[in-house]
Amino acid sequence: MNFKLVLRITGFTLLIEAAAMLLPMGVALIYGESPIPFLSSILIILAAACVPVFLLKPKKDFFAREGFFTVGLIWVLFGAFGALPFWFSGQFGPYVDCFFETISGFTTTGATILTEIEGLPMGLLFWRSFTHWLGGMGVLVLTAALLPFLGISSNFLIRAESPGPVKSKLLPRASQSSKILYAIYLALTVLETLLLRIAGLNWYDAVTHAMSTAGTGGFSRMNSSVGAFGSPAVEIIITVFMLLFSVNFAVYFLILTGKAKQALKSDELRFFLIMVAVSTAAIAWNIRDIYNGVGECVRYAAFQVASIVSTTGFSSANYDLWPEFSKMLLVVLTLIGACAGSTGGGIKCSRILILIRSAAREVRSIIHPRAVSVVRLDGAPLPEATLHTTQCYFIINLFLVFGMAIVVGLDNFSFGTTLTAVITCISNVGPGLEMVGPAGNFAAFSVLSKLVLSFLMVLGRLEMFPILVLFSRSAWKRS
Amino acid sequence: MNIIIAGAGKVGGTVAEHLSGEGHSVTILDKTDAVLERLSNQLDVMCLKGNCASRDLLLEAGARECDVLIAATASDEINLLCCHCAHNLGVPYTVARVRGTEYANDLDTLKRDLGVTMLINPELASAVEISRLLRFPSAANIDTFARGRVELISFHIQETDFLAGRSLASLSSKIQDLPILFCAVERGDDVFIPNGSTVLAREDRVYVAGTPNGVHQFFKLLGRQTHRIKDVFIIGGGRIAFYLLVQLERLGMSCKVVEKGDDRCRQLAEEFPHSLIIHGDGTDPELLEEERMAASDAFIALTDRDEDNLIISLYAHQAGVSKVVAKSNRQNYTSIAHSAGVESVVSPKLTTAGQILRMVRGLQNSKGSAMIALYRIAEGRAEAMEFVAAPTTQHLGVPLKDLKLKKGVLIAVIVRGAKVIIPEGSTTLESGDNVIVVARDSGILDLNDIYEGGGLRAGG
Number of other residues whose CB lies within 10 A of the CB of residue B332: 7
The alpha-carbon gap from B58 to the nearest alpha carbon of chain A, in Å, equals 43
Q: What's the distance, Cα to Cα, between the start and end of chain A in Å?
A: 5
Inform me whether the C-beta atom of residue B280 falls under 8 Å from chain A C-beta atoms: yes
Same domain, B361 and B258: no
For A156-199, the pLDDT digits (tens) are: 666 666 666 665 667 777 677 778 888 899 999 999 999 999 99
Inform me whether the C-beta atom of residue A392 falls under 8 Å from chain B C-beta atoms: no
Residue A373 half-sphere exposure, CB side, CA atoms within 13 Å? 22
Query: Is position B378 within any domain?
Result: yes
Paired sense of beta strands B382-388 and B434-439, if any: antiparallel
Q: CB burial class (10 A; 0-12, 13-18, 19+) of residue A157?
A: buried
Q: Give CA torsion, residues A265, A269, A275, A278, to 10 deg.
A: -60
Question: Is B278 within 8 Å of A370 when comparing Cβ atoms?
Answer: yes
Inform me whether the C-beta atom of residue B291 falls under 8 Å from chain A C-beta atoms: yes
Question: Is A374 within 8 Å of B270 when comparing Cβ atoms?
Answer: yes
Same domain, B427 and B383: yes
pLDDT score of A466 more than 80: no
Same domain, B358 and B316: no
Query: Is position B219 within any domain?
Result: no
| Chain B partners within 8 Å of A368 (Cβ) | 276, 278, 291
**Which helix or strand (DSSP H or E) is residue B427 part of?**
none
> Taking a C-beta distance cutoff of 8 angstroms, is the pair B354, B383 a contact?
no
- Helix pair angle (A249-256, A174-198), 10° resolution: 90
For residue B254, what are the domain limits?
231-321
Same domain, B313 and B402: no
Number of other residues whose CB lies within 10 A of the CB of residue A179: 18
Q: Using DSSP, state whether B276 is helix, strand or coil.
A: strand
Query: ipTM higher than 0.90?
Result: no
Is the dihedral angle over the CA atoms B321, B323, B329, B330 positive or is it negative?
Answer: positive
Same domain, B304 and B239: yes
> Taking a C-beta distance cutoff of 8 angstroms, is the pair A24, A80 a contact?
no
Inform me whether the C-beta atom of residue A230 falls under 8 Å from chain B C-beta atoms: no
Same domain, B395 and B300: no
Cα–Cα nearest to B207, from B400, B405, B438: B438
| Chain B partners within 8 Å of A376 (Cβ) | 273
Nearest CA in chain B to A369: B278
Specify the pLDDT at position A147: 64
Inform me whether the C-beta atom of residue A200 falls under 8 Å from chain B C-beta atoms: no
Helices and strands (H, E) in chain A, number of each type: 21, 3
Residue B40 sits in a domain whose CATH number is 3.40.50.720
The alpha-carbon gap from A346 to the nearest alpha carbon of chain B, in Å, equals 29
For B106-135, the pLDDT digits (tens) are: 878 888 888 888 888 888 888 988 988 888
pLDDT score of A202 more than 60: yes
Cα–Cα nearest to A238, from A302, A329, A163: A302
* Calpha distance A232→A316 (Å, rounded): 10
Query: Is position B202 within any domain?
Result: no
| Chain A partners within 8 Å of B279 (Cβ) | 370-372
* Calpha distance A454→A338 (Å, rounded): 20
Which residues are bridge partners to B451 per DSSP?
B405
The alpha-carbon gap from A355 to the nearest alpha carbon of chain B, in Å, equals 17
Percent of chain B residues topping a pLDDT of 70? 96
Nearest CA in chain B to A361: B276
* Calpha distance B124→B129 (Å, rounded): 9
pLDDT, greater one: A276 or B405 = A276
> Taking a C-beta distance cutoff of 8 angstroms, is the pair B192, B172 a contact?
no
For A231-283, the pLDDT digits (tens) are: 999 999 999 999 999 998 888 888 888 888 888 888 899 999 999 999 999 99
Average pLDDT of chain B, as a whole number: 85
The alpha-carbon gap from B293 to the nearest alpha carbon of chain A, in Å, equals 13
For B52-102, the pLDDT digits (tens) are: 889 999 999 988 999 899 999 999 999 999 999 999 999 988 999 988 888
Domain boundary among B120, B153, B184: B120
> Region A120-138: what's the mean pLDDT?
91
Inform me whether the C-beta atom of residue A373 falls under 8 Å from chain B C-beta atoms: yes
Question: Is A372 within 8 Å of B277 when comparing Cβ atoms?
Answer: yes
* Calpha distance A161→A140 (Å, rounded): 7
Same domain, B6 and B84: yes
The alpha-carbon gap from B255 to the nearest alpha carbon of chain A, in Å, equals 12
| Nearest CB neighbour to B269, from listed A369, A370, A374 | A374
Domain boundary among B321, B342, B370: B321
Same domain, B309 and B397: no
DSSP state of B297: S
Question: What value, to the nearest 5°, has the Cα angle with vertex B304 and ends B127 and B49?
Answer: 95
Specify the pLDDT at position A294: 92
* Calpha distance B77→B235 (Å, rounded): 28
| Chain B partners within 8 Å of A358 (Cβ) | none
> Region B428-434: what's the mean pLDDT?
87
Confidence grade of residue A148 (pLDDT, cut at 50, 70, 90): low
Helix H, strand E, coil C: the string for A382-434 is CCHHHHHHHHHHHHHHHHHHHHHHHHHHHHCCCHHHHHHHHHHHHCCCCCCCH
B102-110: Cβ within 8 A, 24+ apart: B103/B76, B104/B243, B110/B80
* Calpha distance B36→A244 (Å, rounded): 69
Nearest CA in chain B to A375: B270
pLDDT score of A470 more than 80: no
> Taking a C-beta distance cutoff of 8 angstroms, is the pair A220, A226 a contact?
yes
| Chain A partners within 8 Å of B265 (Cβ) | 372
Average pLDDT of chain A, as a whole number: 88
Number of other residues whose CB lies within 10 A of the CB of residue A292: 8
| Nearest CB neighbour to B291, from listed A368, A376, A381 | A368
Question: Is A379 within 8 Å of B273 when comparing Cβ atoms?
Answer: yes
Confidence grade of residue B385 (pLDDT, cut at 50, 70, 90): confident
Helices and strands (H, E) in chain B, number of each type: 14, 24
Please provide the DSSP assignment of B306-335 as one string: HHHHHHHHHHHHHHT-SEEEEE---HHHHH
Question: Is B269 within 8 Å of A368 when comparing Cβ atoms?
Answer: no
* Calpha distance B235→B255 (Å, rounded): 11
The alpha-carbon gap from A378 to the nearest alpha carbon of chain B, in Å, equals 12
Nearest CA in chain A to B265: A372
Burial A91-103 (b: 16+ CB within 10 A, else e): ebbeebbbbbbbb
| Chain B partners within 8 Å of A385 (Cβ) | none
Nearest CA in chain A to B271: A381
For A307-360, the pLDDT digits (tens) are: 999 999 999 999 999 999 999 999 999 999 999 888 888 899 999 999 999 999
Paired sense of beta strands B434-439 and B409-416, if any: antiparallel
Question: What value, to the nearest 5°, has the Cα angle with vertex A349 and ends A344 and A351?
Answer: 110
* Calpha distance B69→B24 (Å, rounded): 13
* Overall number of domains in chain B: 3
Inform me whether the C-beta atom of residue A379 falls under 8 Å from chain B C-beta atoms: yes
Cα–Cα nearest to A458, from A471, A441, A444: A471
Specify the pLDDT at position A457: 94
Query: Is position B147 within any domain?
Result: no
Q: Using DSSP, state whether B142 is helix, strand or coil.
A: strand
Question: Is A372 within 8 Å of B270 when comparing Cβ atoms?
Answer: no
Nearest CA in chain A to B282: A370
Same domain, B32 and B108: yes
Inform me whether the C-beta atom of residue B235 falls under 8 Å from chain A C-beta atoms: no
| Chain B partners within 8 Å of A374 (Cβ) | 266, 269-270, 273
Inform me whether the C-beta atom of residue B287 falls under 8 Å from chain A C-beta atoms: yes
Specify the pLDDT at position B145: 81
The alpha-carbon gap from B236 to the nearest alpha carbon of chain A, in Å, equals 14
For A60-108, the pLDDT digits (tens) are: 777 777 778 888 888 899 999 999 999 999 888 899 999 999 999 999 9
Nearest CA in chain A to B258: A371
The alpha-carbon gap from A361 to the nearest alpha carbon of chain B, in Å, equals 12
Query: Is position B174 within any domain?
Result: no
Question: Is B276 within 8 Å of A370 when comparing Cβ atoms?
Answer: no
Query: Is position B168 within any domain?
Result: no
Question: Is A374 within 8 Å of B265 when comparing Cβ atoms?
Answer: no
| Chain A partners within 8 Å of B231 (Cβ) | none
Inform me whether the C-beta atom of residue A372 falls under 8 Å from chain B C-beta atoms: yes
Strands (E), B347-459: 371-377, 382-388, 403-405, 409-416, 419-421, 434-439, 451-456
pLDDT score of B442 more than 70: no
Q: Using DSSP, state whether B391 is helix, strand or coil.
A: coil
Number of other residues whose CB lies within 10 A of the CB of residue B52: 28
Cα–Cα nearest to B159, from B204, B195, B194: B204
> Region B4-33: what's the mean pLDDT?
88
Question: Is B276 within 8 Å of A371 when comparing Cβ atoms?
Answer: yes
Q: Which amino acid is at B25?
A: S
> Taking a C-beta distance cutoff of 8 angstroms, is the pair A244, A342 a contact?
no
Backbone angles phi, psi at B199, to 5 degrees: -105, 120
- Cβ neighbours for B207, distance < 8 A, ≥ 6 positions apart: B152, B153, B154, B182, B183, B184, B185, B186, B377, B378, B384, B438
Q: CB burial class (10 A; 0-12, 13-18, 19+) of residue A395?
A: exposed
> Taking a C-beta distance cutoff of 8 angstroms, is the pair B273, A376 a contact?
yes
For A381-406, the pLDDT digits (tens) are: 888 888 998 999 999 999 999 999 99
Count of CB contacts below 8 A, A vs B? Answer: 33
pLDDT score of B432 more than 70: yes
- How far out from the chain centre does Cα A38 lie? 24
> Taking a C-beta distance cutoff of 8 angstroms, is the pair B59, B46 a contact?
no
Q: Which one of B276, B288, B289 would you mutate to disrupt binding with A, by most A Cβ within 10 Å of its Cβ?
A: B276
> Taking a C-beta distance cutoff of 8 angstroms, is the pair A114, A443 a contact?
yes
Question: Is A381 within 8 Å of B269 when comparing Cβ atoms?
Answer: yes
Inform me whether the C-beta atom of residue A119 falls under 8 Å from chain B C-beta atoms: no
pLDDT score of B460 more than 50: no
pLDDT score of B311 more than 60: yes
The alpha-carbon gap from A256 to the nearest alpha carbon of chain B, in Å, equals 28
- Cβ neighbours for B409, distance < 8 A, ≥ 6 positions apart: B193, B437, B438, B439, B440, B444, B450
* Calpha distance A159→A16 (Å, rounded): 20
Question: Is A374 within 8 Å of B287 when comparing Cβ atoms?
Answer: no
Residue B432 sits in a domain whose CATH number is 3.30.70.1450
The alpha-carbon gap from A202 to the nearest alpha carbon of chain B, in Å, equals 54
Inform me whether the C-beta atom of residue B278 falls under 8 Å from chain A C-beta atoms: yes
Domain boundary among B87, B120, B153: B120
Number of other residues whose CB lies within 10 A of the CB of residue B294: 15
pLDDT, greater one: A319 or B155 = A319
Question: Is A368 within 8 Å of B276 when comparing Cβ atoms?
Answer: yes
Inform me whether the C-beta atom of residue A410 falls under 8 Å from chain B C-beta atoms: no
Nearest CA in chain B to A373: B269
Cα–Cα nearest to B445, from B382, B374, B346: B374
The model carries a pTM of 0.78
Query: Is position B150 within any domain?
Result: no
| Chain A partners within 8 Å of B266 (Cβ) | 372, 374
DSSP state of B406: P
Cα–Cα nearest to A123, from A23, A206, A205, A223: A23
| Chain A partners within 8 Å of B273 (Cβ) | 374, 376, 379
> Taking a C-beta distance cutoff of 8 angstroms, is the pair B233, B289 a contact?
no
Cα–Cα nearest to A447, from A104, A64, A97: A97
Cα–Cα nearest to B85, from B104, B105, B107, B66: B66
Least confident of A156-165, B199-208, B244-253: A156-165
Query: Is position B312 within any domain?
Result: yes
